[in-house]
Every structure is written in C-alpha cells, then in structure tokens.
Amino acid sequence: MAANLIRELLARGPVLTDGAWGTQMLARGLPPGQFPDLWNLSHPDRVEAVGRSYVDAGSEIILTNTFQANRFALRDAARDVVAINRAGAQISRRAAGERVKVFGSIGPTNTMLVSGDVDKDELRAAFNEQATALAGGGVDAIVIETMSDLNEAVLAVEAARVTGLPVVACMTFDSGRNKDRTMTGVSPAQAAEGLAAAGADVIGANCGVGVDSAAPICAALAGATDLPVWIKANAGLPELVGREVVYRMTPAEYAGHVETLLAAGADFVGGCCGTTAEFIAAMARIIR
C-alpha cells in the first residue's frame, strides 16, 4: 500500500513539493534561536499560512513544521513532542485541503551515535514516537530529512515504516573536498544503497549546498537506485548584508535549474533554505 501513493503521485510526471519553512517562520516573526516547531502550539495560524502559501503556489506535497520535533532536538520542550507533531500534521492538513498531500517531516536528533552519548534503541524510540504522532495527526507519508549519519537515517526509516505510510529518506551532502559527502562521509551511492535496504520508498538529498551544485548529487543517487529521487536544494548560499541574512538567488534563477535536476533523474523537486512560495510558483511554471 505504501508505494501506491508514490506511484499515483508520479503517474503524471515529476511532482512539485514545497519550499522552506524555517526561514519563512523567521520572516513571520519567529525570534532567531527559537524552535519553529513550538509555533505549532503557540502560533498555529502563522504556521498554516506558510503551508497555505505553498499550496497556493502549486505544491502538490507540503511538509509539516516538525523538523526538530523529536525528544532529543527539542531538549527542554521534549515533554510536548507528541502534541507538537500532532498539531504540525493537523495544521498542514488544514492548509493542504483536499488535493495536496501532507508529508510529515522528521529531522536529525543532533546527537551522534559514534560519540556513545546515545544508543540505537534510544534513537529508534525517539523516531517511533515522532512518526507515530505524525501518523496520528493524519499525514500521508513521512519524510526523513537533512540526515548526516547513515546509521541514524536507517533507524529513522525503520521507525517510520512501522506506521505503514510511504517513507522518503534524504541526506544532506555538504562535506568533503567536493561537497558531495555527508558530514559523516556518506556518498550518494552509499546513501542510496543503505536507505533502500532499510525500506525507503523514495530517496533523496535536501539542504546542503545550493541548487546549482545539486545535479551531480542527484545523478549519483539516481544512478545507484531504481527508487524515485527527491531533491530539495537551497537557494544558493546565503550572504550577509549588514546584519541581515540574504539568499540572493532569485526564484527564476532557482527554477532555471529544474530542467537540469529532472534530466539528472529527480522525480520530486522543491526547495530548502531560502526558498519561498515565489520559488515554488516559478518551478510550477517550468514543470507544467
């Protein structure tokens, strides 16, 4: 059943996902350093507005504002982890309406298995807790994003699969001399193999370097798997203007890379840090 939704979505060609949430929440008044996820409980209207902006721009899939909503990353707010995830799923569900699918976002725990500070059972329990809460809130699928450690990503995939929902698994390739490895040294081919073996329905890359560097990573992923490939890149690299963080890449420039990504094997495309509803609208014009 899990793979059916993915097949159905891809039947009409490449699928447009959404853009950034974190940077959009900052633009809507989130104080720097505060967890965007907490707004699911305190400012659900503003979170829903972000989701709705993507739906209006043409996203066929929107994510949830739950990227850091696991018991490790939330730290002091961990007691609210289930409520934050459920609310995040429900908010995106409301924004999505009938047509658009909601994929629940699961990010890294910001711990390192290799450090010995946490063990696999603890991480598995944290991912189970989050995936179950997202499923309970009504998401259509789970997206595991921005992973650096393949062991952690595999645990997240396995935990997400327990829900019976389709699972997208993405890692961030931003390290090494050619910026084509994850922080822990995982190559796209290794990621594709490991995530597929863990049971992911879609594999991919998100965040990391700019969209202009994403095509080789996309091609390496696509070359190493028969699974569909999911790409959400950043709007170039941010620049600092005075005390403002600015992504200088324009929606048209970003959308100009979409054809290249599709040619490199991408099936799902969207944006990560620095992208907005205008970027998604520009991409929609290219894809359709």
Partner 1 sequence: MTVLDELYEAVLEGDFDLTPGLTRRGLDAGFDPQTLIDDVMIPAMAEAGRRFEDDVYFVPELLSSGRAITAGLDILRPLFAAGGARRVGRVVIGTVQGDLHDIGKNLVAVMLEGAGFEVIDLGTNVSPAEVVAAIREHRPQLVGLSALLTTTMLSMPSIIEAISSAGLRDDVRVLVGGAPMNEARAKEFGADAFAANANAAVRAALELVGAGPGR
The residues of the shown chain that bind partner 1, judged by CB under 8 A, are 26, 32-34, 75, 110, 112, 114-116, 148-149, 174-177, 181-185, 238, 240, 243, 245, 273
Identify the CA nearest to 81 among candidates 133, 118, 120, 35. 133
Report helix, strand or coil for 209. Answer: strand
Cβ of residue 68: shortest distance to partner 1, in angstroms?
Answer: 9
Cβ of residue 34: shortest distance to partner 1, in angstroms?
Answer: 8
CA distance linking residue 192 with residue 179, whole number of Å: 17
Cα 163–chain centre separation: 18
Place of tokens 């059972």: 121
**Contact (Cβ atoms closer than 8 angstroms) between residue 5 and residue 101:** yes
Query: Cβ closer to partner 1: 149 or 201?
Result: 149
Cβ of residue 185: shortest distance to partner 1, in angstroms?
Answer: 3
Cβ of residue 33: shortest distance to partner 1, in angstroms?
Answer: 2
Q: Show the tokens assigned to 106.
A: 């699961």
Packing angle of the helix pair 81-96, 120-136 (nearest 10 deg): 40
Report helix, strand or coil for 32. Answer: coil
Cβ of residue 184: shortest distance to partner 1, in angstroms?
Answer: 5
Query: Cβ closer to partner 1: 29 or 97?
Result: 29
Query: Cβ closer to partner 1: 74 or 157?
Result: 74
Query: Cβ closer to partner 1: 139 or 220?
Result: 220
**Contact (Cβ atoms closer than 8 angstroms) between residue 105 and residue 64:** yes
CA distance linking residue 228 with residue 209, whole number of Å: 21
Query: Cβ closer to partner 1: 35 or 127?
Result: 35
Query: Cβ closer to partner 1: 175 or 250?
Result: 175
CA distance linking residue 28 with residue 22, whole number of Å: 10
Q: Show the tokens assigned to 135.
A: 């499923």
CA distance linking residue 261 with residue 264, whole number of Å: 5
Cβ of residue 146: shortest distance to partner 1, in angstroms?
Answer: 12
Query: Cβ closer to partner 1: 14 or 188?
Result: 188
Cβ of residue 23: shortest distance to partner 1, in angstroms?
Answer: 8
